[in-house]
Structures are given as C-alpha cells and as structure tokens.
Amino acid sequence: MTENAKPRAEDALRNIRIVLVGPTHPGNIGGAARAMKNSGLSDLRLVAPRLFPHPDADARAAGAEEILAQAVVVDTLEAAIADCHLVVGASARSRTIPLSSFAPDETARSLLSVAYTAPVALVFGRERTGLTNSELDRCQQLVMIPANPVFSSLNLAAAVQVLGYELYKALVGQSVKAHASRAATRAEMHHFYGHLERVLIDLEFLNPAAPRKLMRRIMRLVDRSRPDSNEINILEGILTAIERLGHGPSSPRNT
Ligand code: SAH
C-alpha cells in the first residue's frame, strides 16, 4: 500500500474479481464489463465463454472495452479463483444443502472487508442454467438478489450491475475496516479438506460410498469461520497427529 497506512478504496476495488462462468451470449459479457466500469471494478475472468472476443461484446461494453481487453479467459472455475480468499456465488435459486445466503448489501460488506488486503471473487453462472452444484461447492457463500419469486432470474449483466452497485455504495458510504489476518486461500482450504476427508475415511467416520453430503456440511461449517493460514496449519497438524496415532507401532489397527 502507500506511506499512508489507511486502506484505500482503489486497493479494494482492484482486489474484487468478477467471474462469469460459461457465458453464452457475448453481449452479456460486454454488458457486464460496462456495469463493472460503472462500479469502479476492472478484474474480469471468463470461464470457457462460448464466444469471446466478439463484436457484440464490444458493442455492449460501450466505453468499457479496456475491461474486455484485459479480461482473462480460463478453462475452469477453480483456475479463476485459486488465489482468492473469499468466493461468493450469485444465484437466483436456493439449494437442498443451502450455503449461507446473504443479501447484496451484506455481501458487499463482507467482500470489501477482505478485499482491502487480498483478492476476492464474485461468481456468476450461465444464462440458462446458472452454476452447477460442483461450482457452488467452490463458493463459500451465496448472494441472492431479492426479486419476484415467480420470476427471480435477472439478466446476467443486470445481476453484475446490481452487485457492482452495492459494492460501490458500500465503499463510498463507509470506511470498511480491513481484517487483521488474511483468510487462507482456496487452494490451502482445498488441500485441508482433502486431508480431512482421507482421515475421516481412515477413521471409518465417513463412508466413501456416500461421502458428499457430510463433507459439504463440514466445508460449510469451517468456511463460515474464515480461518487464516495459521489456523489451517494447526488443523492440518492435528490431522497429521491423528494419522500418526492410527499408523503407530502399538496401534490396534495395525495388529
Ligand atoms: N436460470 C438460471 C439463471 C441464470 S441467470 C438459474 O436458475 O440459476 C445468470 C446468472 O445471473 C446466475 O447464474 C446468477 O449468477 C446471476 N443472477 C441472476 N439472477 C440473480 C438473482 N436474483 N440473484 C443473484 N444472482 C442472480
């Protein structure tokens, strides 16, 4: 940051990434870029867009073409968010095992509180089908824009506009305190969850034939507390100690 220790709005805006997963219509990519520029955002990642670059995207960007020019195209959602410390999925629908779902203004505040010091992502789904369950598994919380319950799905670029507006409003309207410690990255969390799953299977607590529900619930639980890297290291250390016990010379499981 600067000589001045005070967190700056530009730093927070630079750290907020907009991820569009599998957009079908290039016009929507352009519309999203325009909405981003309106809100002071600039980091756009596109996961396997059907058509990009495309003249329709440029046309709808209408002055925000530089955001399209800098947009990074990747193959998977995982690649788009690996270095992010908080990942929020935008969804018009609620799910069977709901992630914690927040209103747009609350979401803007939590994204900003991390974004002063570390990258965060706001993830949007495909026009027709939204985000898949496995993509939602990569998100720590959901944001739902309140809308008519019988017609709640907004146009993709319109959804980016609403959430961009909330971010901008939260940023200019209040000074957000930066978190003292940095949340662990998604890559660190992914490694931890893999380790935990192996230990739980080893302990016969988790049935590998039907593992998904339990792991999802545990991930929700741990993600809610936004552990930092040190805390994840402690938990990894506990898992390693459990593994040592299970495989030690006097262990009944080895006899
Ligand atoms: N039929 C799809 C809607 C896709 S709209 C579905 O039911 O999921 C394209 C994307 O815009 C969504 O994946 C979501 O990221 C965003 N979006 C649309 N309406 C939204 C709403 N009311 N709240 C939050 N995000 C929304």
CB 218 within 8 A of CB 195: no
Best residue for ligand 1 mutational test, from 91, 106, 133 (most atoms within 8 Å of Cβ): 91
Q: pLDDT tens digits, residue range 116-166?
A: 999 999 999 999 999 999 999 999 999 999 999 999 999 999 999 999 999
pLDDT at 214: 86
Q: How distant is the alpha carbon of residue 10 from its chain centre?
A: 20
130 lines ligand 1 (CB under 6 A): yes
Select from 248, 221, 235, 230 the least CA-distant residue to 97. 221
Look up the domain containing 233 and give its range. 186-254
Best residue for ligand 1 mutational test, from 153, 163, 166, 167 (most atoms within 8 Å of Cβ): 153
Higher confidence at residue 11 or residue 146?
146
User: Domain check: are 108 and 86 in the same one?
Assistant: yes
User: Domain check: are 44 and 65 in the same one?
Assistant: yes
Average pLDDT, the chain: 89
Residue 167 counted as domain residue: yes
Q: How distant is the alpha carbon of residue 176 from its chain centre?
A: 20
CB 101 within 8 A of CB 142: yes
Residue 69 counted as domain residue: yes
Q: How many residues would you count in the chain? A: 255
**Domain-ending residue, one of 142, 173, 204:** 173
Task: Please compute the mean of the pLDDT values over residues 71-84 and round it to a whole number.
Answer: 98
CB 138 within 8 A of CB 21: no
pTM score: 0.75
